[in-house]
């Protein structure tokens, strides 16, 4: 990275109708990290998975998320920071009745490409509202593998 980079509220590459907003990408950070602001509705869970090449972290901006990391469970209300080392099995979700919003960080960068391609895959599979839950499982697993992510 050779110069400062600043984005204001509401700025960034919006995906899935604003559910994901890429705030920092490999292009902007020299490959050091990616940052994605995400909104997760009540009842939504991200399936258990691992990342072979990245550390993943979350800073909870609004609401509460529950994390399952390896064999432990953690509740993370707004203001919490969670770090998962590469290779750790993890899942997270929103068990509350309110929307949660968080900043998700990956180091090094690269996983933002997964978010972009997943949004395109969801758009291709969409019937009505865009929703990741309706993705073709085989296509989604292949996409995850492209980014060294494995669902377990």
Within a domain: 8? no
Instruction: Tell me the CA end-to-end span of the chain in Å, nearest whole number.
Output: 35
Helix ranges, the chain (H)? 26-29, 111-125, 137-146
What is the pTM (predicted TM-score) of this model? 0.87
Digit-coded pLDDT (tens) for 115-134: 888 888 776 554 444 455 66
Decide which of 142 and 75 is more confident.
75
Within a domain: 2? no
Our count of domains for the chain comes to 1
pLDDT at residue 120 in the model: 81
d(CA 122, CA 131): 6
Within a domain: 7? no
Q: What is the CATH number of the domain that holds 125?
A: 2.60.120.10
Tally of CB atoms within 10 A around 39: 19
Within a domain: 52? yes
Q: How confident is the model at residue 142 (pLDDT cuts 50, 70, 90)?
A: confident
What number is the average pLDDT over the span 38-54? Answer: 93
pLDDT at residue 16 in the model: 79
Tally of CB atoms within 10 A around 40: 19
Range of the domain at 54: 13-151
Within a domain: 3? no
Within a domain: 105? yes
Q: Are 81 and 15 in contact (CB under 8 A)?
A: no
């Amino acid at each position: 990275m050779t110069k400062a980079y600043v984005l204001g509220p509401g700025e960034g590459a919006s995906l899935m109708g604003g559910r994901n907003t890429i705030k920092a990408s490999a292009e902007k950070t020299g490959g050091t990290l990616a940052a994605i602001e995400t909104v997760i509705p009540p009842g939504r869970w991200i399936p258990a998975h691992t990342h072979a090449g990245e550390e993943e972290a979350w800073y909870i901006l609004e609401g509460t998320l529950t994390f399952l990391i390896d064999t432990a469970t953690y509740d993370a209300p707004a203001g919490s920071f969670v770090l998962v080392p590469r290779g750790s099995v993890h899942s997270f979700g929103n068990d509350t009745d309110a929307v949660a919003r968080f900043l998700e960080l990956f180091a090094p960068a690269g996983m933002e490409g997964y978010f972009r391609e997943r949004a395109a895959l969801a758009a291709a599979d969409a019937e009505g509202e865009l929703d990741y839950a309706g993705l073709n499982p085989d296509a989604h697993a292949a996409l995850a593998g492209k980014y060294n992510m494995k669902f377990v």
